[in-house]
Amino acid sequence: MHIRVEHLCKRFGSFAAVDDVSFDVEDGSLVALLGPSGSGKSTLLRILAGLESADSGNVWFDDEPATDLHARMRGVGFVFQHYALFRHLTVEQNVGFGLSVRGVSKEATAKKVKELLQLTGLAGLEQRFPSQLSGGQRQRVALARALAPEPKLLLLDEPFGAVDAKVREELRQWLRRLHDEVGVTSIFVTHDQEEAFAVSDRVLVVHRGRIEQNGAPMEILDSPATEFVARFVGEVNVFPAVVRAGVAQAGKLEVRVQGEHGPGESHLVIRAYDLKLWREEPGIATVQRVVTFGDRVRVQALVDGAGPIIAQFPRRSSLLKGVEPGCRVQIDVTTARAYPAQASSLYPLPAT
Amino acid sequence: MKSVAYALTPTRSERIARSFVVLYIAALVALPLLALVVFGTSDGLVALAAALRSPLARSALWLTLWTSVLVGILDVLLGVATAWVLVRYEFPGRAAISALVDLPLAIPTLVAGMMLATLYGAHSWIGSNLDAAGMPVMFAAPGILLALLFVTLPFVIRAVEPVLLEIDPAEEEAARMLGAGPWRTFRTVFLPAIAPAAISAGIRSVGRALGEFGAIVIVAGNIPFRTLTAPVYIFGEIESGEPRSAAAVSVLLLAVALGLHSLAGTIEKHTGARHG
Amino acid sequence: MAEPAVSALDQVTRVASRDHAAAGLLDGQILRRGAISSVVFIYLGAILLGPLAAMGVELAHVGVLDALRSLLAPDALFALRTSLVLTTIAVVVNAVVGTLGAIAVVRQRFLGRALVNALADLPLAISPVMIGLAFILLFGREGWLSALVTATGIKVVFAWTGLLIATLFVTLPFTLREVAYVLEEIGTSEEEAAATLGAGPWQIFFRVTLPNIRFALGYGLLMTLARSLGEFGAVLVLGGSISGQTQTATTFIHAAIEERQTGSAYGMALLLALTSVLLLSSLEWAKRRKKVK
């Protein structure tokens, strides 16, 4: 199902949870709403499901107006953050709920439930109650339950938020496979950028009730539209800088930049893995710390006249030779972007 | 305030049902209480004061007040001790005794009074011995206290039990490891946790004791100026066709009861303790 | 690096001294346990177990069968029937009012919600005698609603209607409070899930909400049952305990005691006590089940 959202607004008191949001979702795609907690992404999802009403704006499902459609008429499957399984019903009854309230025959319901339990790997757990399941199993029951009435749109609110890291990784891959198999248009909410990029076809970055950027994962990673997006996706270094003729200057650091760089104060944003440094006298920075974690090494250095910078390297990188606290290093930035500095009031520089 | 989801917005029939319920509750509770207050104060506060100046009314109020407050205090002390024993000690019959603590909720107060009268009355071995020793229970203040202790028995115990169960054993161990003695451990680890629940439940005990009628009416003997409590006084005034003095004493008791009720409610709201 | 070593040593000696004192400590512990337990058992014995046992002994003395046989007298049977009818009505009314009221108070926003919430809790805080008096003042000869009584011909004071109103008043909080508490605990997400799955309001109520509150509702109704069977002060004042007319099981006992009919008093008391023990065990069962998992 193709979804169109136009100028959606929702306020809670004086707080604008959703602020003039418009976007399209292609039929059959898997889209992530990515943003920090409190950004309004869950409210947006709840409006799409009909669980919350919008103050203004419109929602279209396949060019049919859906704004005022009651939740039960929308044909939308919803997977709740904490699953919201019916605690008094068995797994089988939970999954069959959406069919039986619609008056589907017992035989047809049983057949569909069996099929879904196979698909979600829950066969054998039919008679269990939710309290007798693990977090990952509950998640799958919630998904099977939402899929049973064959929704045209599947909405998932922080689907992997409540399970531990290992299970989360498995569920992620499984969700992607499941989506490819079933093919239902899906939107999920997450605050975890890795999750958004790993699973989805498109990512909508949400912040303060607005869409900051709407693009394919690569697009968002490679050309973040705003400073917020740049900061939110991955570890970054930010320096106040002056940009002249496509070159940003922050202390002794000089970097060729993409993106907006009109006259005046700018913010230079450099991703931790978009720069190289190596030992060199006199260099432009002094190394403060070198930390190894897993297959990566993090080097923190103090750039003359600009402040601390963080760089990430593969563990065995030849550049790391001789790099140790106290030594001087030269820095080469491969990719960087500059954003207008007035945004700085919105996103304070990280404390160093 | 939490907003209610759009999808669950009440339908028309739900709103109609709601109006009936609201009307039912308002008519059933608010109307009679309003009538009581208006009637009790209709001649002004001066008349109210005059009615309360009757020596019998005053002695009844005083008796009710001190017995209720004493019962509240005893409930807190003995209730905490009982909850402690029921939660932390293993002994045969614990489950049965724990269940019996709720008996006062299930048994008619009048029957409770009869039970006490059977044990402490002049016909029983205990009662006759206590009488002989000059410490009568029946038709005396101790009887009133026992009856009030009985009807308020579950209040503090049931409020404190869940709090005791929730206290992290690690906290207690930490206190012990740091060299705290048992009393100090109790004071620093347990007391702050159970105090709000125990105190609000104690206040509810006082409120309940102020109004108790059924359990007392048999045990106390209702001797004017000696064992006549305020609720029994009110009953007597109604019986003898004096609704005005009955209403005056009622208004005073009502004010105290509502004050205690909201005080307990405030404590519960601010500390998360729950009554009942 | 000297400091940690010292504190570790300190700890070792402290543990050692603790072990050293363990024997003495254990004695102290047993002593304390004994003291607290004795106080508690004396307390429970004096107000709960003793009286219960005394009642049992007395009944054995009077003769359980004789006591129960006395209940076959017409006025005893009438009082019993009145109590049963009142209790049945109270349970049915409170099942509906408690459930709808709790849903309204917890799930809906409307003018006067806070007031309803506060009013529903009040009957627990008010003396039964005052409740009786309040209704007399409302429906009595000079009362605000005396016109209503004359117009409809339905008497309240010293009448069956009065018994019913008093019973409904004192039992109002039980179901409403229990159900409201559980609704609050459970939250709305299951109901929302049902809505997205296509369930209508009635389906949500009967298939999700009601199953979730059923044990709380059951507990509240058992309390309602206990209270309406056991209510004494309010029905005595408002009903007047007229034998064969407005006498309930409890006011029957009161009248029997006043008339020194010890046999019938004990018979009725035994019946009520047995009922409440039965109720108590059901209450304990419902209490365990009503906890939100």
The answer for residues whose C-beta is within 8 angstroms of residue B213's C-beta and 6 or more apart is B109, B231, B232, B235, C127, C128, C129, C232, C233
Which of the other chains make 3 or more beta carbon contacts under 8 angstroms with chain B?
A, C
Nearest CA to CA, how far is B77 from chain C (Å)? 10
Nearest to A80 among C189, C198, C211 (CB): C189
User: Looking at the complex, does the CB of residue A12 fall below 8 Å from at least one CB of chain B?
Assistant: yes
**A224: confidence class by pLDDT, cuts 50, 70, 90:** confident
Percent of chain A residues topping a pLDDT of 90? 47
**pLDDT band of A260, cuts 50, 70, 90:** low
CA of residue B250 relative to chain centroid, distance:
17
Q: Is A292 helix (H, G, I), strand (E, B) or coil?
A: strand
What backbone phi and psi angles, to 5 degrees, belong to C111? -65, 130
User: Which of helix, strand or coil describes residue A133?
Assistant: coil
Which residues on chain C are in Cβ contact (under 8 Å) with B238?
A: 129, 132-133, 136, 237
Residue of C151, C149, C141, C147 lying closest to C165 (CA atoms): C149
Domain boundary among A222, A244, A268: A222
ipTM field? 0.91
Q: Decide if C193 and A145 are in contact by the 8 Å CB cutoff.
A: yes
A350 lies in some domain: no
Residues B50, B147 within the same domain: yes
Token duo for residue C132: 């009786």
- B12 lies in some domain: yes
Question: For the domain that residue B89 is a member of, what is the CATH number?
Answer: 1.10.3720.10
Closest by CA to C273, choosing from B212, B254, B113, is B113
For residue C286 the two structure tokens come to 């419902």
A49 contact residues in C (CB cutoff 8 A):
196
If asked whether residues B176 and B265 sit together in one domain, one would say: yes
A338 within 8 A of A243, measured Cβ to Cβ:
yes
CA torsion C52-C58-C63-C66 (nearest 10°) is: -80
H/E element, A189: strand A185-190
Q: Under an 8 A CB cutoff, do B81 and C40 touch?
A: yes
Q: Are B128 and B36 members of one domain?
A: no
Which amino acid, A286? Answer: T
Residues in chain A: 352
CA distance A58 to A6: 5
What pLDDT does B274 receive? 63
Query: Total domain count for chain A?
Result: 2
- Would you call the peptide bond into B108 cis, given omega within 30 degrees of 0 as the criterion? no
List pLDDT tens digits, range A291-309: 998 888 999 999 988 889 9
Is C116 close to B22, i.e. CB distance below 8 A? Answer: yes
Tell me, yes or no, whether B211 and B166 share the same domain: yes
Of A86, A87, A145, the CB nearest to C293: A87
Q: What's the mean pLDDT when you consider all of chain A?
A: 88
φ/ψ of B37, rounded to 5, equals -65, -45
Let me know whether A33 and A135 are in one domain: yes
Token couple for C33? 């346990």
| Sign, CA torsion A118/A124/A128/A130 | negative
Touching subunits of C (3+ CB pairs, under 8 Å) are A, B
Interval A32-43 mean pLDDT = 90
Specify whether A35 is located in the same domain as A103.
yes
Q: Is residue A229 part of a domain?
A: no
Does residue B276 fall inside a structural domain?
no
Q: Which residues of chain C are under the pLDDT cut of 50?
A: 1-23
pLDDT of C12 reads 43
Q: Is the predicted pLDDT of residue A78 greater than 90, yes or no?
A: yes
**Can you give the pLDDT at residue B59?**
93
Examine residue A230 and state whether it is found in any structural domain, yes or no. Answer: no
Residue B249 within a domain: yes
Confidence of residue A193 (pLDDT cuts 50, 70, 90): confident
Q: List the beta bridge partners of residue A287.
A: A301
Q: Are residues B241 and B170 part of one domain?
A: yes
Chain A residues with CB-CB distance to B7 below 8 A: 49-52, 70-72
Q: Are residues B26 and B95 in the same domain?
A: no
Number of domains in chain B: 2
In chain A, residues with a C-beta closer than 8 Å to the C-beta of C217 are none
Q: What three-state secondary structure class fits A329?
A: strand
Last residue of a domain, one of A199, A222, A245: A222
As a whole number of angstroms, the distance between CA C202 and CA A72 comes to 12
* Cα distance between residue A159 and residue A133, in whole Å: 16
Same structural domain for residues B115 and B28? no
CB contact under 8 A, A145 and C197: yes
- Same domain, residue pair B58 and B73: yes
3-state SS string for chain B:
CCCCCHHHCCCHHHHHHHHHHHHHHHHHHHHHHHHHHHHHCCCHHHHHHHHHCCHHHHHHHHHHHHHHHHHHHHHHHHHHHHHHHHHHCCCCCHHHHHHHCCHHHHCCHHHHHHHHHHHHCCCCHHHHHHHHCCCCCCCCHHHHHHHHHHHCHHHHHHHHHHHHHHCCHHHHHHHHHCCCCHHHHHHHHHHHHHHHHHHHHHHHHHHHHHHCCHHHHHHCCCCCCCCCCHHHHHHHHHHCCCHHHHHHHHHHHHHHHHHHHHHHHHHHHHHCCCCC
Same domain as A86, residue A144: yes
Q: What is the b/e burial string over C58-96, where b = at least 16 CB atoms within 10 angstroms of the residue's CB?
A: bbeebeeeebbebbeeeebebbbebbeebbeebbebbbe
Per the CB < 8 A criterion, the answer to whether C156 and C150 are in contact is no
Are the Cβ atoms of B7 and A51 closer than 8 angstroms?
A: yes
Beta-carbon contacts of B169 under 8 Å, excluding residues fewer than 6 positions away, are none
Which is nearest to A89 in space by CA: A97, A101, A99, A81?
A: A97
CB contact at 8 A, C198 and A101: yes
Residue A69 three-state SS: coil
Structure tokens, C96: 């509906």
Give the residue numbers spanning the domain of A132: 3-222
Cβ count within 10 A of residue C29: 12
> Using CA atoms, how far apart are residues A304 and A251, in angstroms rounded to an integer?
6
Q: Is A289 on the interface with C (CB under 8 A)?
A: no
Positive/negative CA dihedral, A163, A165, A167, A173 = positive
State whether B213 and B112 are in the same domain: yes
Same domain? A102 vs A203: yes
Q: Which residues of B touch A (CB under 8 A)?
A: 3, 5-7
Identify the pLDDT of residue C95. Answer: 97
**Residues contacting A139, CB < 8 A, separation 6+:** A79, A83, A159, A160, A162, A163, A171
Starting at the edge strand found earlier in the chain, the sheet holding A307-314 runs: A275-279, A328-333, A285-293, A296-303, A307-314
3-state secondary structure of B68: helix
Cis peptide before A263 (omega within 30 of 0): no
Q: Phi and psi for A127 in degrees, rounded to 5?
A: -95, 5
Q: Does C205 touch chain B (CB under 8 A)?
A: no
Q: Is B132 on the interface with C (CB under 8 A)?
A: no
Do B136 and B26 lie in a common domain? no
Same domain, B98 and B154: yes
- Taking contacts as CB-CB distances below 8 angstroms, the residues of chain A near B3 are 12
| CA nearest neighbour of B201 among B150, B149, B265, B138 | B265
Give the Cα separation of A347 and C55 in Å (integer).
76
DSSP state of B112: H
Q: Give the containing element (helix H, strand E) for C121.
A: helix C113-121
- C189, C197, C212: residue with CB nearest A97: C197
**Domain boundary pick from A222, A244, A259:** A222
Q: What is the DSSP letter of A83?
A: B
Strands A265-271 and A236-244: antiparallel
pLDDT at A206 over 80: yes
Q: Is A84 left (phi over 0), alpha (psi -120 to 50) or beta?
A: left
List CB contacts of C236: < 8 A, sequence separation 6 or more. B235, C132, C250, C251, C254
Question: Which residue of chain B is at minimal alpha-carbon distance from C220?
Answer: B276
DSSP character for B187? I
Q: Which residues from chain B sit within 8 angstroms of residue A49, using beta carbons?
A: 7
Kindly give, in sequence order, each residue whose CB lies less than 8 Å from that of residue B125, ignoring residues fewer than 6 positions away.
Answer: none
Contact assignment for A12 to B3 by CB distance below 8 Å: yes
- With CA atoms as reference, the chain C residue closest to A73 would be C198
Residues A143 and A57 in one domain: yes
Question: Could you give the domains of chain C?
Answer: 2-62 (no CATH), 64-290 (1.10.3720.10)
Q: State how far residue A42 is from chain B, nearest Cα, in angstroms.
A: 13
Pairwise CA distance, residues A31 & A2, whole Å: 12
Where residue A135 sits, what CATH number does that domain have? 3.40.50.300
Does residue A198 sit in the same domain as residue A55? yes
Which amino acid is located at C10 in the chain?
D
The two tokens of residue B209 are: 């004791």
Residues A341, A198: one domain? no
Q: Which domain holds residue B228?
A: 45-271
Pairing of strands A285-293, A328-333: antiparallel
pLDDT value, residue C25: 54
Residues in A closer than 8 angstroms to C190, CB to CB, are 84-87
Which of C:158-197 have CB within 8 Å of B? Answer: 165, 168-169, 172, 177, 181, 188, 191-192, 195-196
B150: phi then psi, degrees, rounded to nearest 5: -65, -50
Q: Look at residues B61, B261, B257, B64 and name the one whose alpha carbon lies nearest to residue C134.
A: B257
Provide the total of helices (H) and of strands (E) in chain A, helices listed first: 8, 20
Mind giving me the DSSP string for C150-216? HHH----TTSHHHHHHHHHHHHHHHHHHHHHHHHHHH-SHHHHHHHHTT--HHHHIIIIIHHHHHHH
pLDDT in tens, chain B (276 residues): 344 566 677 888 888 988 999 999 999 999 999 999 988 887 777 777 887 888 999 999 999 999 999 999 999 999 999 999 999 888 888 989 998 999 999 999 999 999 999 999 888 888 888 888 888 888 899 999 999 999 999 999 999 999 999 888 888 888 888 888 888 888 888 899 999 999 999 999 999 999 999 999 989 888 889 899 999 999 999 999 888 889 989 999 999 999 999 999 999 888 876 654
Chains meeting A at 3+ CB pairs closer than 8 A? Answer: B, C
The answer to whether A231 and A337 are in contact (CB under 8 A) is no
The better pLDDT of the pair A128, A307 is held by A128
The pLDDT of residue B243: 85
Three-state DSSP class for A314?
Answer: strand
Q: How many CA atoms lie within 13 A of B94 on its CB side?
A: 12
Q: State whether B15 and B68 are in the same domain.
A: no
